[in-house]
């Protein structure tokens, strides 16, 4: 794992049976290094099962991550949204069921079902590609729903069937920090005591501010600053 020799991990195969909402499944299948056999809504009737998030799981749009969420919303907003999800889900399934009763084919009737409908599949991959999946989907930037699946798979399956490999994964992948060429230049600047973080970023060409002087919310410079802060916090915790 330390030297990225993948072959030993490719010899281990894991096959999972997973039930998950369609909108989570659409993220999951972006990992194209697995074999998938999904429940066919053209062949079978879709069960009446939908995902309705809890109130504390419905958050506002993130300002720093265009595909993420953050911050609590007013209670009336979350209650309204949960109610509408339930209404739409129930109404859609009623239409789906009525369409089947009237003789509409399964493959056509299914188009009225929303993204929070549950699907099911068998998902088979080798241990190396499983680790790649976990490294991305256990990350704090991943959507909460798929992160819950990844954490469960890691803790209750992978860590049990391949404990030594999983320990190496947490050490050399999850617990590691990588640096780009510019970031290493800035890090060298800091280690040599040439100046503070802002000067190090300026030296390496890592932007922390916009042209108008306001702080940037995203970008390599911001990410580098977060890496340094995380390392400092780890040091403070370890040696306090």
Which sign does the torsion angle of CA 113, 115, 118, 123 carry?
A: positive
Q: Give me the catalytic one of 2, 110, 137, 144.
A: 137
125 — phi, psi (to 5°)?
-150, 165
**Residue 158 is encoded by which pair of tokens?**
């992978």
CB atoms within 10 A of CB 118: 18
> Does the annotation mark 66 as catalytic?
no
**Residues 31, 136: Cα–Cα separation, whole Å:** 10
**Which element (helix H / strand E) includes 17?**
strand 13-21
Q: What's the CA angle centered on 23, arms 33 and 59, to 5 degrees? A: 120
Q: Which residues are catalytic?
A: 137
């Amino acid at each position: 794992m330390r030297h990225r020799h993948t072959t030993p991990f490719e010899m281990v195969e894991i096959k999972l049976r997973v039930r998950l909402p369609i909108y989570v499944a659409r993220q999951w299948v972006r990992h194209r290094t697995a074999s998938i056999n999904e429940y066919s809504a053209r062949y079978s009737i879709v069960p009446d099962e939908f995902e309705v998030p809890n109130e504390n799981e419905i958050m506002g749009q993130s300002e720093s991550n265009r595909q993420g969420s953050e911050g609590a919303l007013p209670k009336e907003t979350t209650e309204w949204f949960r109610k509408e999800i339930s209404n739409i889900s129930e109404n859609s399934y009623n239409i789906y069921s009525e369409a089947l009763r009237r003789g509409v084919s399964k493959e056509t009737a299914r188009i009225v079902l929303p993204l929070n409908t549950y699907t099911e599949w068998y998902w088979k991959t080798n241990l190396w590609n499983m680790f790649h999946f976990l490294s991305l989907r256990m990350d704090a930037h991943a959507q909460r729903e798929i992160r819950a699946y990844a954490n469960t798979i890691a803790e209750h399956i992978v860590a049990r069937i391949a404990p030594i490999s999983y320990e190496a994964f947490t050490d050399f992948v999850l617990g590691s920090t990588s640096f780009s060429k510019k970031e290493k230049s800035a890090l060298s600047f800091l280690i040599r005591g040439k100046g503070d973080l802002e000067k190090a970023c300026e030296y390496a060409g890592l932007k922390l501010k916009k042209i108008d002087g306001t702080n940037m919310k995203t970008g390599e410079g911001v990410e580098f600053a977060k890496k340094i802060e995380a390392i400092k916090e780890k040091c403070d915790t370890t040696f306090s």
